Amino acid sequence: MPTVHSATYDLLRRQGLTTVFGNPGSNELPFLKNFPADFRYVLGLHEGVVVGMADGFALASGHPALVNLHAAAGSGNAMGALTNAWYSHSPLVLTAGQQARSMMGVESMLANVDAPQLPRPLVKWSYEPSCPEDVPRALSQAIHTANLPARGPVYVSIPHDDWGHAVDDDAALLSTRQVTSAAQPAEAQVEALAERLNAARNPVLVLGPDVDAYGANALAVALAERLNAPAWVAPSASRCPFPTRHASFRGVLPAAIQGISDRLAGHDLIVVIGAPVFRYHQYAPGRYLPDGAELVHLTCDMQEAARAPMGDALVGDIHATLEALVPRLPQSDRARPEPLPRPEPQVDPEGLLTPETVFDVMNALAPEDAIYVKESTSTVTAFWERVEMRHPGSYFFPAAGGLGFGLPAAVGVQLARPERRVIGVIGDGSANYAITALWSAAQYRIPVVFVILKNGTYGALRWFSRLLDAEDSPGLDVPGLDFCALAKGYGVEAVAVSARHDFETALQTALEDDKPRVIEVSTTTIEP
């Protein structure tokens, strides 16, 4: 007769969740016992790193990823990383070991008190099965919930004495289930949208991360070319939905109300696709829309549609909506946008590189289909200006701004996409939040190139301190860091550079290697 353990592994196998990211404790050992040979376990040394690796893996693969956490303490350690996963629509299936059922009521050590409540509101669904026989069904529900639009993380707490219980043969029915979504817009909806675009005098596109997540990048290009419209990337960009050297590309919108309104002035119709309206950050109040402008919002997320402060929304599959829309639009006779001018090279001071020079070198040496996992907030604008990204799935950034994403996510992305080179671009402040990800990269020989930009300060925080008139605040600098020593301690080869030629040599060497490498680059400080 099957057990909860055997039925669960069969379910995971059939649903393609054969990679487990975890950091085990005693509650998790009964699940990991007799770990199947066709499964892969990826160990992280901290739960934030575990979720970060799984997040990168899920985003890059487009499929749910399984995470195994330890009770309440491990779940708590993972919450910062979970924030990024929630806002990036990352389909993570989080499992957490629970104390034995008979020990839960007295709140024994490692009992997860009110376990389903703990990860909320950063999960789509949270549950603790009421009996052992319900565990396989609960995990089936979790997998399908995570993967249905809008995708997102889910959480299941499982008492450790459930795994050995017998289940009936009907549990096998769970593993063969397929749950799919068919969010095709109605003909009338597409026709009304097309008529509105056709009637617009000067439309503009604002493209978000779900264009990339749905593989609709080429359709976004076709839409921009059909309309001869400029295309901005939505603020707080966590993915790249549009090729950055295309003539229509205009850059990334600022994450401020007045800043967005200023950039979009003169357009009568703003079409936001695959992004919230909008992910603001900097406090710069103003009018939500420029004078004379209307807004249409195409999103896969009903919550994004419901909470937007302006505009009309259509909720549905991003790819299906654009696929139906583009053929209904005639070729516009508006003048085509002129390509943005290429930025000039920067002059590097003695003993330091400007981030602009670092990105110029990357752009020249990296493969054209390289994937960049970025967590250096102060250099965002310079990166988007100087690094050409033309392929889907080329860029990942922490969607909630929570630090600790970059290093582990780069490991997870490289695991998911071994045929492409992954370059992690990490600030020195950010790197310390998840530095143990280097150990996982070394142990599993994952050939990520980690470029750590070392300027000795929290660059973005420095900028905000000036905006908020708080430059005398303590804790803005991080001197005395030696990332080469840290990397070598975790088993990763590392080199420090401070001149362009040395960085070119180090990057070329790293790209030709089949194991992870760290390049510590001494840089100047610039503003976001």
Residue 296: closest CA among 287, 307, 288, 305: 305
For residue 112, the surrounding DSSP H or E stretch is none
Q: Are residues 302 and 388 in the same domain?
A: no
70 is catalytic: yes
Q: Which two tokens stand for residue 329?
A: 């639009």
Q: Return the DSSP state at 451.
A: E
Task: Specify if 334 maps to a domain.
Answer: no
pLDDT, tens digit (0-9, with 9 covering 90-100), for 438-480 = 999 999 999 999 999 998 766 565 555 565 666 766 766 667 7
Q: What pLDDT sits at residue 465?
A: 57
Task: Specify if 456 maps to a domain.
Answer: yes
Is residue 511's pLDDT more than 70? yes
DSSP class per residue in 270-311? EEEESS-S----S-----SS-TT-EEEEEES-HHHHHH-SSS
Q: Which two tokens stand for residue 206?
A: 């604002």
Q: What pLDDT sits at residue 508?
A: 98
Q: Which two tokens stand for residue 420?
A: 């492409």
The dihedral of CA 270, 273, 277, 282: what is its sign? negative
356 is catalytic: no
Task: Specify if 348 maps to a domain.
Answer: no
Distance CA 22, CA 14 (A): 20
Residue 395: closest CA among 386, 387, 385: 387
Name the active-site residue from 5, 6, 22, 25: 25
Q: What pLDDT sits at residue 457?
A: 65
Q: What pLDDT sits at residue 468?
A: 62
Task: Specify if 394 maps to a domain.
Answer: yes
Contact of 88 with 120, CB cutoff 8 Å: no
Distance CA 528, CA 112 (A): 41
Task: Specify if 338 maps to a domain.
Answer: no
26 is catalytic: yes
Locate the DSSP E strands across 107-146. Answer: 125-127
Q: What pLDDT sits at residue 282?
A: 82
Task: Write out the residue range of the structural domain in which residue 68 sits.
Answer: 4-175
357: left (phi over 0), alpha (psi -120 to 50) or beta: alpha
Q: What pLDDT sits at residue 466?
A: 66
DSSP three-state, residue 150: coil
Q: Which two tokens stand for residue 385?
A: 């200006």
Q: Are residues 374 and 504 in the same domain?
A: yes
Token pair 């907030």 is found at 377
Angle, alpha carbons 306-310-315 (nearest 5°) = 40
Q: Are residues 443 and 514 in the same domain?
A: yes
Q: What pLDDT sits at residue 455?
A: 86
Q: Are residues 169 and 191 in the same domain?
A: no
Q: Are residues 145 and 197 in the same domain?
A: no
Q: What pLDDT sits at residue 467?
A: 58
Q: What pLDDT sits at residue 434?
A: 96
Q: Are residues 13 and 161 in the same domain?
A: yes
DSSP three-state, residue 270: strand
Q: Residue 34: is it exposed, middle or buried by C-beta count within 10 angstroms (0-12/13-18/19+)?
A: exposed
Name the active-site residue from 97, 152, 316, 401: 401
pLDDT, tens digit (0-9, with 9 covering 90-100), for 193-247 = 999 999 999 999 999 999 999 999 999 999 999 999 999 999 999 999 999 999 9
Q: What pLDDT sits at residue 409?
A: 98
215 is catalytic: no
DSSP class per residue in 242-262? S-TTSTTEEEE--SSHHHHHH
103 or 460: whose pLDDT is higher?
103
Distance CA 355, CA 455 (A): 10
62 is catalytic: no
Task: Specify if 473 maps to a domain.
Answer: yes
- Domain boundary (135, 150, 175) is at 175
Q: Return the DSSP state at 280.
A: -
Q: What pLDDT sits at residue 464?
A: 56
pLDDT band, residue 140 (cuts 50/70/90): very high
For residue 153, the surrounding DSSP H or E stretch is none
pLDDT, tens digit (0-9, with 9 covering 90-100), for 403-443 = 999 999 999 999 999 999 999 999 998 999 999 999 999 99
Contact of 404 with 80, CB cutoff 8 Å: yes
Question: In percent, how much of the chain has pLDDT > 90?
Answer: 88
DSSP three-state, residue 275: coil
Q: Are residues 244 and 98 in the same domain?
A: no
- Domain boundary (175, 200, 230) is at 175
Number of compact structural domains in the chain: 3
Q: Please report how many Cα atoms fall inside a 13 Å half-sphere around the Cα of residue 128, on the Cβ side.
A: 22
Angle, alpha carbons 402-403-405 (nearest 5°) = 95
Is residue 316's pLDDT more than 90? yes
Name the active-site residue from 47, 225, 356, 520: 47
Q: Residue 363: is it exposed, middle or buried by C-beta count within 10 angstroms (0-12/13-18/19+)?
A: middle
473: left (phi over 0), alpha (psi -120 to 50) or beta: beta
Name the active-site residue from 63, 165, 246, 281: 281
DSSP class per residue in 335-348? PPPPPPPPPPPPPP
Q: Are strands 312-315 and 371-375 parallel, antiparallel or unpaired?
A: unpaired
Is residue 266's pLDDT more than 70? yes
Which residue type does 188 have? Answer: A
Torsion angle of the four alpha carbons 139, 145, 147, 149, in this order, in degrees rounded to the nearest 10 = 180
- Domain boundary (109, 141, 175) is at 175
pLDDT, tens digit (0-9, with 9 covering 90-100), for 2-12 = 999 999 999 99
Q: Are residues 312 and 257 in the same domain?
A: yes
State mean pLDDT over 40-47.
Answer: 98
Q: In whole angstroms, what separates CA 496 from the centre of its chain?
A: 28
Q: Are residues 210 and 171 in the same domain?
A: no
Distance CA 210, CA 305 (A): 14
Q: What pLDDT sits at residue 474?
A: 73
State mean pLDDT over 266-275.
Answer: 98
Q: Which two tokens stand for residue 309?
A: 């402060």
Q: What pLDDT sits at residue 458?
A: 64
Q: Are residues 65 and 191 in the same domain?
A: no
CATH number (domain holding residue 94): 3.40.50.970
pLDDT, tens digit (0-9, with 9 covering 90-100), for 154-169 = 999 999 999 999 999 8
153 contact partners, CB below 8 Å, separation of at least 6: 82, 85, 86, 90, 91, 92, 93, 94, 119, 122, 123, 124, 146
Distance CA 14, CA 484 (A): 42
CATH number (domain holding residue 272): 3.40.50.1220
Task: Specify if 411 maps to a domain.
Answer: yes
Q: Are residues 153 and 206 in the same domain?
A: no
Average predicted confidence (pLDDT) for the chain:
94
Task: Specify if 422 maps to a domain.
Answer: yes
Name the active-site residue from 5, 6, 28, 412: 28
Neighbours of 485 (CB within 10 A): 11
Q: How many helices (H) and strands (E) does the chain have?
A: 21, 18
pLDDT band, residue 526 (cuts 50/70/90): confident
47 is catalytic: yes
385 is catalytic: no
Name the active-site residue from 70, 89, 144, 319: 70
Residue 53: closest CA among 74, 78, 24, 28: 78
Distance CA 262, CA 282 (A): 14
Q: Are residues 450 and 390 in the same domain?
A: yes
